[in-house]
Amino acid sequence: MRSVQRTAGKVAHGSLVRDSSLVWLASGVVGVSFGAVSVAGGLPVWVPVLMSLVVYAGSAQFSAVGVLLAGGGPVAAVATGLLLNTRTAAFSLAVAEILGTGRASRFLGAHLVTDETVAFALAQPDPVRQRRAFWISGLGLFAVWNLGVLAGAMAGSALGDTARYGLDAAFPAVLAALVLPTLRADSTVRRCALPGAALALAVTPAVPAGVPVLLALAGLLLHRSPTTDGATA
C-alpha cells in the first residue's frame, strides 16, 4: 500500500512540475529582461538582484526601477511598487487555507504569492493537489525568476533593447492559459472575472501600469455564494 502511495505521489509531483515548467520558463525570460533593463539603465548589478530576492514582485519591480531610472527618488519608487502590489492581499486571502497553519509556512508562502502561483494552485481539483501545486510552482518560480534576473543583470546592456523581443507578452499569455479552465467550468467565476477584465481594459490607456489589475477586483462585487443564491431564489 505504501509503495502504491509513493508511486501516486511521485506521479502527482511529476505532473505538477511538468505543468509548472511553462510558467517557470516565462518567468526566467522576463527575469532576464528585468535584470538587463535595470543594469543597462545605470543601476548597479546588486540592485535588481537584491530587489528580486527581497521584494519578489515582477510588475512592482519593473515599475519601481522605471521610477528610479526616470529620476525619481527611492520613496516614490517604493510607493509605486507598494501600490501595484496591493493586489496580492486579495490573492493571499484566496490561498490562506492552502498555505497551512504553521508560522514558517505562512511566512514563506506569503512571499511566494504571485498571480501565476495562485492561479495555478486554485486551478487544481482538490485541496491536497492545490497545496502541492502552490509550493511546487511557487518555489520553482522564485528560483527561476532570481536566476533569470542575475543572468540579465550580469549581461547588462549586451542584450540590447529587450523590448524588441516581445517579452512583455509572456506572462499574460501564461496567465490566460492558467485561468481559462476555471472560467469554462465555473459560472460564478465568469460572472466576476469578465466584467473585471472589461473594466481593466477600458481604463488601461488612462492609468499607470498595474492599476488596471487593481480596478479589475471590482468584479468581486458581483460574487454570490451558493447559499446566498439559494436563499434569494
In the chain, how long is the greatest CA-to-CA distance? 63
The DSSP-derived string for the chain is: -HHHHHHHHHHHHHHHHHHHHHHHHHHHHHHHHHHHHHHHTT--THHHHHHHHHT--HHHHHHHHHHHHTT--HHHHHHHHHHHHTHHHHHHHHTHHHH-S-HHHHHHHHHH--HHHHHHHHTSSSHHHHHHHHHHHHHHHHHHHHHHHHHHHHHGGGG--GGGGTGGGHHHHHHHHHHHHHHHH-HHHHHHHHHHHHHHHHHTTTS-TTHHHHHHGGGGGG---HHHHHHH-
Q: Binning pLDDT at 50, 70 and 90, where does residue 228 land?
A: very low
pLDDT band (50, 70, 90) for residue 210: low
Contact between 154 and 38 under an 8 Å Cβ cutoff? The reply is no
Distance in angstroms (rounded) separating the CA atoms of residues 109 and 113:
6
pLDDT for 10-28, tens place per residue? Answer: 556 778 888 888 888 888 8
pLDDT, position 212: 75
Q: What is the pLDDT of residue 5?
A: 46
Determine the Cα–Cα distance for residues 43 and 219; give it in Å rounded to an integer.
38
More reliable by pLDDT, 175 or 230: 175
Determine if the pTM surpasses 0.75.
no
4: pLDDT strictly greater than 50: no
Which pLDDT tens digit goes with each residue over 107-151? 888 888 888 888 888 888 888 888 888 899 999 999 999 999 999
Are 81 and 60 contacting, i.e. CB atoms less than 8 angstroms apart?
A: yes
pLDDT at 223: 72
The pLDDT tens digits for 46-83 are: 988 998 998 888 777 877 787 777 676 777 677 767 77
Residue range 198-220: mean pLDDT, rounded? 78
Can you tell me the distance from the alpha carbon of 41 to that of 232, in angstroms, rounded to the nearest whole number? 57
pLDDT at 50: 92
pLDDT at 226: 47
pLDDT, position 189: 77
